């Protein structure tokens, strides 16, 4: 049987850091208020001369090196992003150019914070149908570019970064299952809209936080049940949860659902904020590099994002 197995991973965070103390200077907020409600202490911000593809390029290079491959060993590139460089071509095509890879298919997918799970699910199908051998899957977002920094409820949340994995064909267990969903009727609860700022209309994130929080917790409860049931597993079979880093309270709710200590949940939100599609691969790379997640461990990834979209992946490392 053909499995999709993670062969390498990599990440990249921009140099500039925006702390809660920095936000205190421009917003009616405090470090204590932000930390207690979100778990976030700081976030990384893309440089003015950087693009999303630059973030993706750095993470992709690290993942390819970690997998002991060369760029031209990659035969498919999928980039999950909400903040593409351009309307077209895709950020994946621009990344392909930067990596100097010739001719392999390359495309973007957009499922906001669930984007990496969606991309992983697509890549898994390509490998299991023998349509690709080594797939570069990237989550990259520059959320600061669509953040309204006069809106306290939004400005405190978002960060920029990129994470990547190499998914390769294997005869050993890797991705056991993926589950993806969407419910477009809730579009207006979390979306990008045009707002006027100093006489200029800019596209920025608009979110009804309390309603999104409730939906996220309930929906992630359901996706955990679906994933375990599909694989005939019990909660105690999971070694690690690698969740989308949206809010520490959501992470704690997922841990409670699994009767799991937070010590078994990979948490990066305090240092990175919500990096949307980048947050799961960033957390995965952190967990592996810190020698928390080890070969043979069973990990559950789960995410919830605008759309609404949500999804999970159960993976043997």
Q: Which strands form 309-316's sheet, in the order they lie side by side? A: 175-182, 309-316, 298-305, 240-243
Q: Confirm whether 179 is a catalytic residue.
A: no
The residue annotated as part of the active site, out of 62, 154, 247, 274, is 274
C-beta atoms surrounding 26 within 10 Å: 11
Question: What size, in residues, is the chain?
Answer: 317
State the DSSP H helix or E strand holding residue 18, giving kind and residue range, or none if neither: strand 16-19
Is-contact 269 38, C-beta < 8 A?
A: yes
Strand 106-109 vs strand 76-80: parallel, antiparallel, or unpaired?
A: parallel
HSE-CB at 208 with a 13 A cutoff on CA atoms is 9
Angle at 159 between CA 156 and CA 215, to 5 degrees: 65
Which of 44, 93, 154, 244 is flagged as catalytic? Answer: 244
For this structure, is 113 an active site residue? yes
Catalytic residue, chosen from 113, 154, 179, 247, is 113
User: Active-site residues: which are they?
Assistant: 113, 244, 274
């Amino acid at each position: 049987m053909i499995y999709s197995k993670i062969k390498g991973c990599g990440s990249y965070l921009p140099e500039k850091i925006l702390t809660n103390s920095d936000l205190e200077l421009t917003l009616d907020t405090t470090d204590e208020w932000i930390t207690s409600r979100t778990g976030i202490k700081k976030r990384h911000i893309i440089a003015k001369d950087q693009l999303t593809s630059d973030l993706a390029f750095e993470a992709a290079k690290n993942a390819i090196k970690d997998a002991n491959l060369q760029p031209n060993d990659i035969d498919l590139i999928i980039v999950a992003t909400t903040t593409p460089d351009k309307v077209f071509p895709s950020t994946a095509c621009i990344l392909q150019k930067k990596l100097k890879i010739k001719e392999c298919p390359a495309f973007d997918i957009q499922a906001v914070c669930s984007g990496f799970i969606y991309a992983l699910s697509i890549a898994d199908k390509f490998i299991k149908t023998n349509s690709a051998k080594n797939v570069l899957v990237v989550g990259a977002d520059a959320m600061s570019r669509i953040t309204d920094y006069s809106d306290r409820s939004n400005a405190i949340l978002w960060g920029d970064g990129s994470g990547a994995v190499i998914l390769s064909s294997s005869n050993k267990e890797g991705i056991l299952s993926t589950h993806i969903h969407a419910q477009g009727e809730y579009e207006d609860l979390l979306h990008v809209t045009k707002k006027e700022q100093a006489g200029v209309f800019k596209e920025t994130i608009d979110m009804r936080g309390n309603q999104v929080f409730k939906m996220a917790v309930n929906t992630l409860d359901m996706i955990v049940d679906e994933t375990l049931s599909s694989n005939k597993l019990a909660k105690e079979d999971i070694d690690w949860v690698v969740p989308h880093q949206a809010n520490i309270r959501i992470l704690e709710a997922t841990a409670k659902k699994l009767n799991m200590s937070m010590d078994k949940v990979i948490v990066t939100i305090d240092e990175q904020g919500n990096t949307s599609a980048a947050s799961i691969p960033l957390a995965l790379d952190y967990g592996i590099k810190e020698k928390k997640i080890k070969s043979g461990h069973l990990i559950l990834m789960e995410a919830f994002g605008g759309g609404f979209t949500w999804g999970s992946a159960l993976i043997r490392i």
